[in-house]
Amino acid sequence: MSLFRNLFGKSDPVTELGKLYARREWAALLAAARRLERTALPADVQAQVAGWETEAGDALAAINLDEGEMAVRLGNHRKGREHFQLAAAQACAPALRERAERLLAEAGGDRSAPSAAAGCGSSCGPTCAPAGGEGPAEEEIDAAGHLELLLATLPHDLADRYVAAGTPFLQAWLAAQEGDDALALDLFEQVPAAQRGTLFRAERGVVLARNGRSAEAEADLRAALGEFPDLFHPFDALVTLLAVTGRHDDLESLLRRALDEGRFAGYCWSRLAQLEAGRGHVAAALAAGEQALAEGELDPATVLMCAELQEREGNHAKAEALFARLPSGGCGGGAHPLLAEFWLRHGQNLDRALESFKGALRHELDNPRWLLRIAQVYIAKGWKKDAAGPIESLLQRDGLPDELAAEIRAAADAIR
């Protein structure tokens, strides 16, 4: 199953975005989402990324609005304008954008900054993204502003520990959060030995793991977790390191030990479910997946894995309920395309499935998957004449993935 690639193969950008979302690291998530090239991603993944980006942008905008208002109250109008400009560029929710524009106007700032968020309007689709790269407002925020924003996303007690770790460490951490791993590693080397504490080992270990330096990374991550076992991101990095290096027994031991200690229950059950599924142990995978969901785990990959396994086992009602839990991406409502595909596979709710596929096609006119799904619904409803046009159009396309091309040929045979 393709969803197991994230655990058993090289980590991919969407997986990293999901981890940032799980940790509520909004600033890093928004920056990474805006850098991600999405055109080759499946529509459901594009929708998920858009949903994460929207939530991150709105969360950061709310923080910046509050910080800006506080700065203005303290008489620092320049700093207030910077926060309002950044909020206007980040916000997707109309109410937040309007508030940012109003406060920016009252502060005498440039109101053109919100154009960077134009792609997140109420009519956005699965590929919802900012209209361009980082807007002028973001370019005006200096390193100190970025650092302040990153610290604002952390719990207060943890943010205090980061600040206390020293300026050299914070510079390295900022570089890592901005995706410049080479610079981050250079800066970590410049941190004085006396300041190389738990957070240093945690953050350097994460960057080392990301760059394939497994032995060094593992030493750092285990040292950090030994001192601060409740720090999630080094734990997550160690889980990923053990998975991608094929040390599955060590991975299972790590996850079960964390469960025994009452840490990260939903996450650990989710990873155990993926581990068992990768081993082909369907019953164990489902049991672990159900434990993860019971613990409140909301990771779409976990929900999707459980849904696919339940469907494979013939538990269609349970599978449908799980597909229905997948997020729609926040744009226009309706059934998630994967739920619609489930309905199509089982000949259920074809009218609702058709509307879902038409909605997806409106947002991705060049994606042959949705045109094929529409044609397949027509065939399932007995409307072969309606299916003929879409199928003929699809048959003229070159360079389609083999699996999709085979489905198109099968649909063409069905209308002959």
Q: What is the pLDDT of residues 234-279, one digit of tens each?
A: 999 999 999 989 999 999 999 999 999 999 999 999 999 999 999 9
Does CATH place domain 154-246 in 3.40.50.1100?
Answer: no
Q: How confident is the model at residue 105 (pLDDT cuts 50, 70, 90)?
A: confident
pLDDT exceeds 60 at position 4: no
319-373 per-position pLDDT tens digit: 999 999 886 644 445 788 999 999 999 999 999 999 999 988 887 788 899 999 9
Residue in this structure with the two tokens 């970590």, named with its chain if needed:
188
287 vs 27, higher pLDDT: 287
- The conformational region for residue 10 under phi > 0 = left, psi -120 to 50 = alpha, else beta, is beta
pLDDT of residue 301: 80
- Of 171-185, 219-233, 329-343, give the lowest mean pLDDT range: 329-343
pLDDT of residue 75: 62
For residue 41, the 8-state DSSP code is: S
Residue in this structure with the two tokens 């449908």, named with its chain if needed:
320
For residue 141, the 8-state DSSP code is: S
- Of 115-119, 158-162, 364-368, 392-396, give the lowest mean pLDDT range: 115-119
Pick the CATH number of 264-331 from 3.90.1150, 2.60.120, 1.25.40, 1.10.3470: 1.25.40
| Cβ neighbours, 10 Å, residue 303 | 22
pLDDT of residue 108: 64
Report which of 74, 77, 102 is spatially closest to residue 88, judged by C-alpha positions: 102
pLDDT of residue 109: 52
186-207 per-position pLDDT tens digit: 999 999 999 999 999 999 999 9
Please give the Cα distance from 151 to 164 (Å, whole number). Answer: 12
pLDDT of residue 93: 81
The number of CA neighbours under 13 Å toward the Cβ of 361 is: 15
Contact 311, 296 (CB under 8 A): no
* Domain residue ranges in the chain: 1-115, 154-246, 264-331, 334-414
Contact 202, 224 (CB under 8 A): yes
54-97 per-position pLDDT tens digit: 888 888 888 888 878 776 766 667 777 888 888 888 888 888 88
Please give the Cα distance from 88 to 246 (Å, whole number). Answer: 45
Alpha-carbon dihedral angle through residues 117, 118, 122, 128, given to the nearest 10 degrees: -80
> pTM (2 decimals)?
0.65
Task: Kindly report the average pLDDT of the chain as a whole number.
Answer: 83
Please give the Cα distance from 201 to 306 (Å, whole number). Answer: 35
For residue 330, the 8-state DSSP code is: S
408: its two tokens: 């198109």
pLDDT exceeds 50 at position 157: yes
pLDDT of residue 414: 95
CATH architecture of the region 334-414 = Alpha Horseshoe (1.25)
pLDDT exceeds 80 at position 284: yes
Are 264-331 and 334-414 in the same CATH fold?
yes
Q: How confident is the model at residue 302 (pLDDT cuts 50, 70, 90)?
A: confident
pLDDT of residue 396: 93
pLDDT exceeds 60 at position 128: no
Please give the Cα distance from 91 to 62 (Å, whole number). Answer: 8
Environment class of residue 97 by beta-carbon count within 10 Å: exposed (0-12), middle (13-18) or buried (19+)? buried
